[in-house]
């Protein structure tokens, strides 16, 4: 990987992780690691273009059908693809089908860009996610194999101890906080070959006194009522939080951040 490469465009493909939930901006929209990465790349390259096709809740079949061909046609310098994790969290999941669809996506995207970026998504501890961990790790093994075969690079967030810290996850326990997204952007930035601005992004946060038993139980009850039960309901009925939602940034256009042009 060359040091401080010059890339003129970025297209992000995926689900809520790439859309930027739960990195909330004052206007109610989401920022996220992909926007942060685009801003940093744009600061180095005048006229830098960026598209983000991600939509929350999308399964790998939907990502392939709705985003992959669109992204490939944009012929961007860099394409990021993160998908399949929502499938692994469904009550029933055909991992053979997931692997096949991920392979289809990579085979279409890799030839269409200078650099395809895949990820081993960050993971955290918890009884709900533990039952799905074998599926997640099977997915990540597939990511590694496809990257080696097609010349993609892999950002290993799953192996970063810092990103399993519950303080980097929102109250829904499924999406990263703003600080979590900042660390992901740094990880992708460095994996692309840029000089790191935060060489300690993998380092766990300083220890603090954990909340007491009563505080934890109140938080667990609130989480179950506001997030877990609705999430389970959507999984059982085949619905998605992203049903009917458009892509975050559907066109490959010059990047403009929350306060205007970045370059």
Q: Which pLDDT band holds residue 243 (cuts at 50, 70, 90)?
A: low
| Stated pTM of the model | 0.85
Alpha helices (H) in the chain, listed in sequence order: 16-19, 33-44, 60-63, 69-74, 85-88, 95-109, 127-130, 133-150, 178-191, 213-223, 229-237
Higher pLDDT pick, 232 / 23: 23
pLDDT in tens, 184-194: 999 999 999 99
- Residue 226 is predicted with a pLDDT of 54
Q: How far is CA 236 from the centre of its chain?
A: 24
Please answer whether residues 193 and 1 qualify as being in contact, where contact means their C-beta atoms are separated by less than 8 angstroms.
yes
Residue 209, pLDDT > 80, answer no
Looking at residues 124-129, what average pLDDT do you find? 67
Q: Residue written as tokens 């990195």?
A: 23
- Residues across the chain: 263
pLDDT for res 222: 61
**Can you give the pLDDT at residue 59?**
95
Average predicted confidence (pLDDT) for the chain: 87
If phi > 0 it is left, if psi is from -120 to 50 it is alpha, else beta; for residue 20 that is left
- Confidence check: pLDDT of 242 > 50: yes
Sequence-ordered list of residues with C-beta below 8 angstroms from that of 218, at least 6 positions apart, any chain: none
């Amino acid at each position: 990987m060359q040091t401080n490469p010059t890339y003129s465009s970025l297209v992000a493909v995926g689900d809520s992780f790439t859309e930027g939930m739960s990195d909330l901006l004052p206007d109610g929209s989401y920022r996220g690691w992909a926007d942060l990465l685009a801003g940093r790349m744009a600061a180095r390259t005048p006229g830098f273009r960026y598209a983000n096709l991600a939509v929350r809740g999308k399964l790998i079949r939907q990502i392939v059908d709705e985003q992959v061909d669109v992204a490939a046609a944009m012929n961007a310098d860099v394409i990021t693809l993160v998908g399949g994790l929502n499938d692994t969290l469904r009550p029933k999941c055909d991992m053979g089908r997931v692997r096949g669809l991920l392979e289809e996506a990579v085979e279409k995207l890799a030839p269409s860009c200078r650099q395809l970026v895949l990820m081993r998504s960050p993971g955290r501890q918890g009884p709900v996610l533990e039952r799905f961990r074998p599926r997640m790790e099977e997915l990540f093994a597939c990511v590694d194999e496809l990257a080696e075969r097609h010349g993609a690079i892999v950002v290993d967030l799953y192996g970063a101890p810092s990103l399993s810290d519950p303080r980097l996850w929102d109250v829904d326990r499924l999406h990263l906080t703003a600080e979590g997204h900042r660390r992901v952007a740094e990880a992708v930035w460095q994996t692309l070959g840029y000089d790191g601005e935060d060489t300690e992004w993998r380092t766990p946060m300083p220890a603090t006194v954990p909340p007491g038993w009563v505080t934890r139980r109140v938080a667990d009850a609130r989480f179950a009522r506001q997030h877990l039960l609705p999430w389970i309901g959507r999984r059982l009925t085949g619905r998605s939080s992203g049903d009917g939602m458009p892509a975050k940034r559907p066109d490959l256009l010059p990047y403009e951040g929350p306060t205007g042009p970045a370059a």
